[in-house]
Amino acid sequence: MNSESTDISKLYLVPTPIGNLEDMTLRAIRVLKEVDVILAEDTRTSGKLLKHFNIDTPMLSHHMHNEHKMVERIVKRIQGGENFALISDAGTPAISDPGFLLARACIEKGVDIECLPGATAFVPALVNSGFRMTNLFLKDFCPLKKEGKPD
């Protein structure tokens, strides 16, 4: 999957474990080992994960304070032949973590994106709730503070 590969370059959205490193998928480990660069929300947190799985792919910090400045540069690098993986500290990138802007820019520029399946907090919480799932509707995350009446 490195730059010399004949595959089309792309952005991989790679879920990371939520609390238990054993929840990391084999495919996620392989992708993180094979891409050219890993974009990490917090390189210190992600560094522990990568070290645990013997992944030595270079990392760049990609978080809410710098993502606006980095998006175009990353898209150009992918268009130039590099493969990138985006990881958040826990769970799937671009849900409530950085990544939405980069994913949207890739789509607008015709850059391939692949979101791997993996750890989410939402599905286990829902299944463990015992609620019937026949008419499920998810609007948004609940606010952290009371904000008045819901929409």
Q: E strand or H helix at 104, and its extent?
A: helix 100-108
CATH of the domain at 109: 3.40.1010.10
Query: Domain containing 63: what range?
Result: 10-129
Question: Does 67 fall in a domain?
Answer: yes
Q: Which residue type does 88 have?
A: S
Torsion (CA) 141, 147, 149, 150 in degrees, nearest 10: -20
Question: Does 143 fall in a domain?
Answer: no
* Residue 26, token pair as written in the block: 């084999």
Question: Does 146 fall in a domain?
Answer: no
**Mean pLDDT across the chain, nearest whole number?**
86
Specify the higher pLDDT residue, 140 or 20. Answer: 20
Specify the higher pLDDT residue, 50 or 92. Answer: 50
The arithmetic mean of pLDDT across residues 114-143, rounded, is 77
| DSSP-derived secondary structure letter, 23 | G
Question: Does 137 fall in a domain?
Answer: no
Question: What pLDDT does 11 receive?
Answer: 97
Q: Give the count of domains, the chain.
A: 1
Closest among 58, 65, 24 to 41, alpha carbons compared: 65
Question: Does 142 fall in a domain?
Answer: no
Question: What pLDDT does 103 receive?
Answer: 93
Q: Which residue type does 50 have?
A: L
Question: Does 28 fall in a domain?
Answer: yes
Q: Model confidence over 69-127: pLDDT tens digits?
A: 999 999 999 999 999 999 988 888 877 777 889 999 999 999 999 999 987 777 777 78
SS3 at position 24: coil
Question: Does 2 fall in a domain?
Answer: no
Model confidence at 147, pLDDT cuts 50, 70, 90, reads low
Question: What pLDDT does 6 receive?
Answer: 46
Q: Which residue has the tokens 């849900």?
A: 95
Question: Does 98 fall in a domain?
Answer: yes
Question: What pLDDT does 4 receive?
Answer: 46
Q: CB within 8 A of 58, min separation 6: which ones? A: 36, 37, 38
